[in-house]
């Protein structure tokens, strides 16, 4: 009996990351190149594990809904794989932007992911164009450019699989994952004009020690208050975040690449709705006054078994 083997969606964040989003062309070579690409992704993962077993290096590929249809992959689609629809609040919008393939390359040693990106780009360049490439890095003790620790609420242990991978609710795609990404740009001048105390009220945690404020003093529009969500029965709902900061100081571009793997996109969408529309409506996430989402795209991450089937 074949066991389901997922891509490395629940790996923990590490020191270096390259994110790439590609748009596919209409090309007679497209399906053949995609077959080669699936084989390449499997090969890259096997190679780095064998050569550098302690490097924590991996390549995860996600596929968008439009690309899924264009490549004539199995039907029906994963239950929640659609084009992302923008979420528009009174002041801020979670925009929707195109993207057919997403690559999440990570390793402690940047050389490994650089070489992976070169091989992927070499193969895809004849049938697709790169529409986004971001090089992320670990900033101090896993802090965002805003200076606060990022990812504290991530699940751990077996919970990472539970919240990050599809289960029996969609048997055809069990072990796969929904991947949602946003590129955020930060207004650092406005952020730094706040006192540390006011910054802490925006986030809902202490800046130095990463301690969450008690509910009686945590502002209702703080990031923590709105991004931590519950189900209908009060159960805690989580996603597996692998956010990474990036920046170009000379051009004053500083940001966070938000990346969430989840067993159901409904959870991620509920969190985004809380942040951008507010709970109650109008009580939006105050962090959005300093952080602008300039992309927003949903992908599906097939299992390694499916990649093997797609490779022909």
Do 151 and 241 form a contact (C-beta atoms < 8 A)? yes
Angle 296-279-189 (CA atoms, 0-180°, nearest 5)?
Answer: 60
Integer Cα distance of 254 and 58 in angstroms: 25
Angle 104-107-109 (CA atoms, 0-180°, nearest 5)?
Answer: 140
Task: Verify whether residue 150 is a known catalytic residue.
Answer: yes
First to last CA, the chain: 20
Show Cβ contacts of residue 152 under 8 Å, excluding neighbours closer than 6 positions.
205, 210, 212
Catalytic residue among 100, 150, 242, 285: 150
Residues recorded for the chain: 312
Integer Cα distance of 237 and 120 in angstroms: 34
CA 18, 24, 30, 34 dihedral sign is positive
| Residues with catalytic function | 150
């Amino acid at each position: 009996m074949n066991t389901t083997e997922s891509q490395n969606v629940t790996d923990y964040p590490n020191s270096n990351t390259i994110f790439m989003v590609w748009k596919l062309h209409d090309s007679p070579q497209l399906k053949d190149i995609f077959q080669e690409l699936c084989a390449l992704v499997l090969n890259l993962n096997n190679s780095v594990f064998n050569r550098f077993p302690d490097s924590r290096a991996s390549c995860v590929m996600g596929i968008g809904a439009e690309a899924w249809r264009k490549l004539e992959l199995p039907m029906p689609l994963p239950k929640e794989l659609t084009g992302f629809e923008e979420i528009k609040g009174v002041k801020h919008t979670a925009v929707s932007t195109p993207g057919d393939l997403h690559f999440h390359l990570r390793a402690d040693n940047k050389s490994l992911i650089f070489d992976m990106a070169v091989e992927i780009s070499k193969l895809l360049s004849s049938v697709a164009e790169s529409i986004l490439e971001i090089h992320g890095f670990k900033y101090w003790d896993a802090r965002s450019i805003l200076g606060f620790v990022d990812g504290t609420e991530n699940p751990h242990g077996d919970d990472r699989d539970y919240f990050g991978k599809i289960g029996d609710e969609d048997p055809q795609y069990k072990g796969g994952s929904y991947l949602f990404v946003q590129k955020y740009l930060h207004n650092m001048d406005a952020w730094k004009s706040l006192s540390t105390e006011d910054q802490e009220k925006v986030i809902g945690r202490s800046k130095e020690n990463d301690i969450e404020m008690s509910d009686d003093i945590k502002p209702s529009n703080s990031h923590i208050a709105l991004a931590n969500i519950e189900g209908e029965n009060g159960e805690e709902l989580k996603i597996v975040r692998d956010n990474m900061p990036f920046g170009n100081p000379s051009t004053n571009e500083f940001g966070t690449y938000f990346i969430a793997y989840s067993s159901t996109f409904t959870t991620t969408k509920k969190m985004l709705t809380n942040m951008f529309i507010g709970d109650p409506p109008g009580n939006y996430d105050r962090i959005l006054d300093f952080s602008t989402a300039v992309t927003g795209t949903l992908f599906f991450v097939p299992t390694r078994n499916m990649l093997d089937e797609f490779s022909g």
